[in-house]
Amino acid sequence: MKQSEGILQRLNRPWVLGLSGVLGVFVIWQFIAASGAVDDLFLPSPISVLSAGSEKAYSGLLFKDAMASIGRVLGGYALSMLVSLPLGIAMGTNRTINQLLEPLLGLIRYMPAPAFIPLLIIYFGLGELPKVLLIFIGTLFFNTLMIMDSVRFVPAELIEAARTLGGKGLPILTKVVAPFIAPQVIDAYRINMAAAWNLVIVAELVAANEGLGKRISLAQRFLKTDEIFAYLIVIGLIGLLIDLSFRVLLRRSCRWSI
């Protein structure tokens, strides 16, 4: 009895359940592909996709394209993180700055970032800078507003207690506000990283010589759906690893919030 309970507890672990869900999808996918109900052109089997991905990995193209896309995402998103943090804190702590910038950010936030691609190409050409700036533009406003909201929700009692103990100005910001909002800031960065990946793929579909989005575009041109699926899975895996990295950072740096 105890042994069976132990097995059930192990099976109920989140990573086991998550892996089971992923494997279940692949089993269903393989079953549908093997049944012949859908043409291989539209739904290649997981084995075909694995074969196509292995071929690209063996040739070195997969690694080269993945590194190109990762470099663009990290460059643009790091710039967004650096700018949004002080901007969000300033908007959350200063009413004048907030009233000045929030309507502007709210307006630009609803402009689709891919719509800026033609302008970025006109201004900066077809190099790396337009792709990095697209990611920056597409994530800056979401990061800033989410950080601003996290600052607004710092309990007033916490600030008053710090002032009662003699705190004021910068020390309150660094020793009270910053630790309180740190988990929310990391979580905001984690959530909006998905938008950065979406944008880099869009940018590479439009104008790029290398990158995962460029390979998807080329595969579509020659109806190589197995390669498209392979690249999509690689994008998902890289995104998952980045997401897990943010989760680990949150657990290590903000243990009090877990």
Q: What is the DSSP string of 9-65?
A: HHHTSHHHHHHHHHHHHHHHHHHHHHHTSS-TTTS--HHHHHHHHHHHHHHTHHHHH
Q: Which two tokens stand for residue 219?
A: 């595969």
Q: 208-233 burial, b if ≥16 CB within 10 A, otherwise e?
A: beebbbbbbbebeeeebbbbbbbbee
With respect to residue 6, please indicate whether it lies within any of the assigned structural domains: no
Q: According to the model, what pLDDT value does residue 12 have?
A: 54
Domain assignment of residue 20, yes or no: no
- In a domain, residue 72? The reply is yes
Q: What is the pLDDT of residues 24-69, one digit of tens each?
A: 888 888 888 888 888 888 889 899 999 999 999 999 889 999 999 9
> Is 75 contained in some domain?
yes
pTM: 0.84
Q: How many other CB atoms are there within 10 angstroms of residue 84's CB atom?
A: 26
Residue 35 in any domain: the answer is: no
Confidence at residue 23, expressed as pLDDT on a 0 to 100 scale: 85
Q: Give the structural domain span for 152.
A: 46-257
In the chain, the number of structural domains is: 1
Kindly report the CATH number assigned to the domain that includes residue 143.
Answer: 1.10.3720.10
State the Cα–Cα distance between residues 8 and 17, nearest whole angstrom.
11
Task: Tell me if 56 is assigned to some domain.
Answer: yes
* pLDDT, tens digit, 9 for 90 and up, residues 93-118: 888 988 999 888 888 888 888 889 88
pLDDT computed for residue 171 by the predictor: 75
Say if 8 falls within a structural domain.
no
Digit-coded pLDDT (tens) for 126-176: 888 999 999 999 999 999 999 999 988 888 777 777 777 776 767 777 778
At 2, the pLDDT band (50, 70, 90 cuts) reads very low
